[in-house]
Amino acid sequence: MTLHPVKYEMKKPKKTIEASKKIVIFCDLLLTAVIIATFAAAFNGYDVSSLVTLDMGIIGLVTTAHGFYYDKARRENTLKIAKAYEIDSELIADMVKGSLEVSNMNGGY
């Protein structure tokens, strides 16, 4: 009787999407759907003046969502870089708060 080794497969952890990324994706899809609807209505000869107003509002929403997402990513990346190079914790706090100006960090350029 020969024994064969038992192969165990480890379960891969599920990759979850961050809530902020879900919001950005939702806003992008919403903007795409409304713009397609606006073009379709305009192509078929309907009055799209109210849809254009809605488009501008959604563009503002998308711009705000992307702005907050990029600011969050900047803060997270600042922390990662600071920890990797072992920068002083007070300097990290100032960088995350955004109180340091870019010109101060680049030697006044």
* Per-residue pLDDT at 103 exceeds 50: no
Q: Report pLDDT digits (tens) over 31-86.
A: 999 999 999 999 999 999 988 899 999 999 999 999 999 999 888 888 888 788 87
Q: What angle, rounded to 10 degrees, do the helices at 19-43 and 49-84 form?
A: 160
- Where residue 29 falls among pLDDT bands split at 50, 70, 90? very high
* 3-state DSSP assignment of residue 63: helix
The model's pTM? 0.66
Return the CA Rg of the chain.
24
Alpha-helical segments (H) within 1-109 = 19-43, 49-84, 89-97, 102-105
Cα 61-65-67 angle, rounded to 5 deg: 115
